[in-house]
Structure 1
Amino acid sequence: MGMNVLIVDDHESNRILVRYLLESEGHDCIEAENGQIAVEQFDEHQPDFVLMDIVMPVMDGYEAASLIKKRAGDTHVPIIFLTAKHDEKSLLACLESGGDDYLPKPINGIVLKAKIKAHARTQELTQQVHAKNSELTRLHATLTQEHEMGRHVLNHTLKRSLQNCKNVKSYLSSMSTFNGDIFLLAENPSGGLYAFLGDFTGHGLAAAIGTIPVSQAFFSMCEKSMPIMEIASSMNKSLKSFLPEYMFCAATLIHVPESGDKALVWAGGLPDAYITRPGEGLVSVVKSRHMPLGIVPAERFNSEIELHELRYGDKLFMFTDGILEGSPTDSDEMFGEERVMDSLDRRVKEGGQERVFDGLLDDYHSFSQGSAQQDDISLVEITAGPIDNSSVIDLEPKTNLPWSVNVDLDAERIHSQPDPIVQVIKVLPADLFLYRRADMIRTILSELYSNSLEHGLLALDSTIKGSHDGFTKYYQQRQERMDALDAGRISISVSFDYERSGSELKISLRDTGKGFDFASQNEDLAMNTKPWGRGIALVRSLCETVEYSDEGRCVEATLALNPNDRKERYPPIAPA
């Protein structure tokens, strides 16, 4: 492809010779007899290439080359000096004034053509680099603008999270501009707190985008005082439809009631959480027992929760795996769970509860020795004790009349309603007086219904879960017997009797099965380490009474409800 070449020489014969050589190669030529005219011609024609003599009247080649280079700016315009001078000083001056090459006189046509071709290739590469740099600059500006927009949207989304709660401390450090970890905190309108810690697959903006549907579902359901079982189910359903298949959210969801003496926990995929106690150190592990959010479809999602009793001053610590995976620059050894547990236990015993949070972070940073973060890092501390919630609404029942809800499920309805407890909860009176205990009510109903179905109608034996592949066998048997179930009935009754001195919610279930050995289900929840029997133990820990009759076919549980009971058993927590 021909180029536009500026030939600068005060001898016309030299210009004619060079012009002849170049035009034979398909190039267009412009001539100038001195440096000043060369600069003017450059401004007018913007040539691709310049061949420059050195010694000329009015303005020499050195000055002209320097001016042309300045006018070219970022555009690469090669300048080849044509000179009869061969001394080192002259050749050095050629390069210092902006020249890219030189060719001695008399001019060798073959060498001239070769040099022009070589510099043309360099010029083409330079133009490509310049074009790519321009494109990168444009893309960077666009990306910066998009990041600003993303940051604005995400910050606006997270602004709804409760700030400055004296019961909660949090530390979040992102690996990049956007954080794939998310911590949400919200008041329960009927008293207490909801806390959510999540860790999305990956890092940066792609991971952070998932925080939008999570936060929307979280705050929407918290405003309605929904139980965390339903919040977890809603989040899972939302993320399953929103995220690509390779993404999910490891999470822990906690509800601490207004009394602050217990924590209801749903945990899936995050590292285990820990509970410390003043003077005792690390006292309990909160196991992460479920799959992360966004993996399993709604019909297979396990929303079961665990109850952890707390004493005043206990601290519950939850964190993402970024803390566990921290390591020094020159080592592959990770901080790990053992160091986390040791730090929590040691810090309590050495300096008391108030320094545990900062102490764990100090131990982490000391171990990692300032190495670059390999993951987003989050740490949350929740202190047991009464939750000071000024926005708690009046929890008097809407009616002081007794009421009851009765549901009768035959085999056909049992098949058509995989989780009938959701429907039972929905038909209960829409009263925030009940929503205050919604998690407990749903947990009690779910565990008792599961027991009536699996051990009553299906006559399953939970002890097989203790074998190597026991859970697989158990659920295979469950599916087989469910497929064969064509008769049987489960009756559910929920009744409420209002008394200002102490109301009661009674939950009873009756099935038409063969019954089961309910006497073997009396083991305390804290003492039960077997892979079965925890459901009834959990119900007993939540209820005032749990009584089985008719060989296990009938059960009645009583849950105490006192609208005036704020459980002020603890002194207030001093501000952090």
Structure 2
Amino acid sequence: MNTAFDKMSVLAVDDNRTNLHILQVFLKKLGHDVLLAENGEQAVQRFLEHQPDLVLLDIMMPVMDGFEAARRIKAACRDKWVPIIFLSALNRDENLVEGLEAGADDYLTKPINFVVLEAKLRSMQRSLAMQQSAAIALERLRAISDNVLDAIVTAGMDGRILTVNRATERIFGRPAREMVGQSFTLLLPEVFTGEGDNGRDGACRLATFKGHDREGIALHADGRQFPVEIGVSEVAIDQEKLFVGVVRDISQRKRAEQQLQQNATLLQAYFDHSQSEQQLAVRLMEKLLHRPGLRDPRLRYQVMATENFSGDIVAASRSPEGRFYALLADATGHGLAAAISVLPVLALFYRMTRLNRTIRELVVEINQQLRESMPIGRFVAATVVCLDEISLDGEIWVGGTPEAYLLDAEGRPVTRFQSENLALGILDSDEIDCQPRSFRWAPGSQLLMYSDGLLEASDGEGCQFGSDGVLGAIAGTPAATRFQALEQALAQHLGNSPAADDVSLMLIDCP
């Protein structure tokens, strides 16, 4: 363990290597030593081997989850406090409660707010420094007082004090001469007040506390009350029975408990506030995403988010001239950051389709907007479609998303539209091919589009749904139930396993 807490030894645990790398870089930048583990079992082993000062612990991990790892780490700490901060995407009340019951001292939801995390680490540093200072002081006092810190008071069967040690003088602020001969109630009035049997002041009351410890309130010489823990034993010396009372000042422990309770209250308030903000954000996003165009009778779609927010979006609109437009987009990542990335795409799509713009104009404008507004490393894969229901001509542009299919009335793929372009927001518009592919369709045809989250959806054994799963689910199914068949096939494939990435799909009836 460190001899000073200008830096800490931190054990970071996450089954996602990218998250671990980010945490490692962040913690080293703050000056801390970093240990890494990729699952709960490995975390316990690292802890036992290196005895770090603090643990940053993910919850959902293979081999052993974070809750069990926290319980084992806390059990191994014994009388040493090692803070555990849970870092998890799980943010429901039951997750918070279970984490605290497992031994967590704090909780931070993913995606991690590194400003908040740094503040929490500094708070833990101060607490650990206080703990270490108290431990050092305790060792010195034990050496000075021959390893005796607690007040040791002997009393006769009548409850009157016979002897005290130096710790008693220190704890109660009284010299020995003021205590010897007085009733035990002088030191502990609330616990031992009242007359016992046969009128002996406090004697039988002392006897009732033999064999177990009890908390009470002690009285200092200056009138101040403070919490103590009392243990009473009965001994016989030269055939004379005596009470031996051990009194421990637990003020510091109570302050620590109160601080922990305050931290838990603050954590709950932070969690509630975060939940409220997320719910507001969800409502705002739903209002932006669910436009009237998605209620078109020719369209069926689904978006499955891995978190509260999805980086996948779908949109549909009709121009005043009757042309039908559809968009399926997939931003890098998932969650709120990815959802925010696609908002400019939505705004441009609906504005330009109302103006009856071409697919090429749409792609150029969206790409330019993303190039100007998105940070490096952020981009949006997209499939954009326009159907002219009068001429039965269609146009499609695919950039970065999986292939789209034109299906015949039997659900067989007639035309495959592969991604021939990079995702939007990577290159300047004059460096990409913005020209869409043209196609025509026969009666009963449908157009199928989806994100890579559908193909990569894995079952419990790690087997991906893939293109074979998509085409197998719709082959030979009636057009009216084809979308439902695909949904059911995906649900059956996933079973109880959640999708690792956002999933979106669209099925459009070609009139």
TM-score with structure 2 length normalisation?
0.56
Q: 1:151 to 1:36 in 2, by over 3 A?
A: farther
The question of 1:332 aligning with 2:454 is answered: no
Q: State the 1:197 CA deviation.
A: 0.6
Q: State the 1:304 CA deviation.
A: 1.2
Aligned partner of 2:331 in structure 1 is 200
- Aligned length, in residue pairs: 330
> Contact between 1:172 and 1:377, CA under 8 Å: does it hold in 2?
yes
The question of 1:22 aligning with 2:152 is answered: no
The question of 1:377 aligning with 2:503 is answered: yes
Q: Secondary structure at 1:106's aligned position in 2?
A: strand
Question: C-alpha distance in 2, partners of 1:154/1:316?
Answer: 27
Letter in 2 for 1:312: P
Residue 189 (structure 2) aligned to one of 19, 30, 33: 33
Q: State the 1:105 CA deviation.
A: 5.3
Aligned partner of 1:82 in structure 2 is 231
Aligned partner of 2:471 in structure 1 is 341
> Contact between 1:256 and 1:263, CA under 8 Å: does it hold in 2?
yes
Query: In angstroms, what is the RMSD of aligned CA positions?
Result: 4.0
Q: State the 1:325 CA deviation.
A: 0.9
The question of 1:144 aligning with 2:275 is answered: yes
Give percent identity, aligned residues only. 22
1:271-290 equivalences in 2 (<5 Å): 271-279=402-410, 281-290=412-421
> Contact between 2:407 and 2:445, CA under 8 Å: does it hold in 1?
yes
Letter in 2 for 1:106: V
Q: State the 1:153 CA deviation.
A: 2.2
> Contact between 1:7 and 1:32, CA under 8 Å: does it hold in 2?
no
Q: State the 1:12 CA deviation.
A: 5.5
Who wins on radius of gyration, i.e. which is larger? 1
Question: C-alpha distance in 1, partners of 2:279/2:410?
Answer: 47
Q: Secondary structure at 1:374's aligned position in 2?
A: coil
Q: Which has the higher contact order (CA 8 A, sep 6+)?
A: 1
Aligned partner of 1:354 in structure 2 is 480
Question: C-alpha distance in 2, partners of 1:260/1:33?
Answer: 97
Q: State the 1:135 CA deviation.
A: 3.6
Q: Secondary structure at 2:458's aligned position in 1?
A: coil
Question: C-alpha distance in 1, partners of 2:227/2:453?
Answer: 53
Question: C-alpha distance in 1, partners of 2:209/2:244?
Answer: 19
> Contact between 1:7 and 1:31, CA under 8 Å: does it hold in 2?
no
Letter in 1 for 2:387: V
Question: C-alpha distance in 2, partners of 1:61/1:152?
Answer: 61
Aligned partner of 1:237 in structure 2 is 368
> Contact between 2:470 and 2:486, CA under 8 Å: does it hold in 1?
yes
Question: C-alpha distance in 1, partners of 2:210/2:363?
Answer: 78
Letter in 2 for 1:368: L
Letter in 2 for 1:369: G
Q: Which segment drifts farther, 16-25 or 252-261?
A: 16-25
Letter in 2 for 1:35: V
1:276-425 equivalences in 2 (<5 Å): 276-279=407-410, 281-329=412-460, 331-344=461-474, 346=475, 349=476, 351-385=477-511
Question: C-alpha distance in 1, partners of 2:428/2:193?
Answer: 78
Question: C-alpha distance in 1, partners of 2:244/2:411?
Answer: 96
> Contact between 2:214 and 2:230, CA under 8 Å: does it hold in 1?
no
> Contact between 1:318 and 1:381, CA under 8 Å: does it hold in 2?
yes
Structure 1 gap segments, 5+ residues each: 39-52, 69-76, 87-103, 386-576
Q: Secondary structure at 2:316's aligned position in 1?
A: strand
Structure 2 gap segments, 5+ residues each: 1-133, 139-149, 175-185, 195-201, 218-225, 236-241
Q: 1:122 to 1:182 in 2, by over 3 A?
A: same
1:333-353 alpha-carbon deviations (Å, 9 max, x no partner): 211112222333x2xx3x322
Q: 1:166 to 1:353 in 2, by over 3 A?
A: same
Q: Secondary structure at 1:373's aligned position in 2?
A: coil
Question: C-alpha distance in 1, partners of 2:446/2:320?
Answer: 23
> Contact between 1:35 and 1:64, CA under 8 Å: does it hold in 2?
no
> Contact between 2:215 and 2:228, CA under 8 Å: does it hold in 1?
no
Q: State the 1:14 CA deviation.
A: 6.6
> Contact between 1:54 and 1:61, CA under 8 Å: does it hold in 2?
no
